[in-house]
Amino acid sequence: MDIPDDLKYSEDHQWVQLEDDIALVGISDFAQEQMGEIIFLELPEVGDQLQSGKPYGVVESAKMASDLYAPVSGEIVEINDELPDSPEVINSSPYEEGWMIKVKLIDPSELDDLFDAASYEEMIEDDD
């Protein structure tokens, strides 16, 4: 299982990579492994406002459906247009090609509430 050190992680298994004041967001390798083959993805629209901890989309696999919970608050400035037509990309490349949304942060200090890689790995090991 891959847990890149340069990302932050939410308890809902979202990852965040900061690029200036833009947060790149997706689901973790652990989450996609747990779900199995992803067959459907619903993402918000550019311009939508996210609130940390609130749902912003839906991901479904053959096993389950799950809401996607925003790890940060802000405005959607870009979505990965490829994913709704090819959601399986999340399984093969959760951190690169499988990113979901880009968010212009309202409050960068929210990142302090997220896990670093070591803490995230500890959390998911405790869940097993």
Would you kindly state where each structural domain of the chain is located, as residue ranges? 8-127
Which has the closest alpha carbon to 68: 36, 35, 93?
A: 35
For 73-89, the pLDDT digits (tens) are 999 999 999 999 999 99
Which has the closest alpha carbon to 77: 36, 34, 25, 118?
A: 25
SS (H, E, C) the chain: CCCCCCCEECCCCEEEEEECCEEEEEECHHHHHHHCCEEEEECCCCCCEECCCCEEEEEEECCCEEEEECCCCEEEEEECCCCCCCCCHHHHCCCCCCCCEEEEECCHHHHHHCECHHHHHHHHHHHC
Type of residue numbered 9 = Y
Q: Which CATH architecture has domain 8-127?
A: Beta Barrel (2.40)
pTM for the structure as a whole: 0.94
pLDDT, the chain, mean: 95
**Partners of residue 78 on adjacent β-strands:** 102
- pLDDT, position 128: 56
Low-confidence ranges of the chain (pLDDT < 70): 127-128
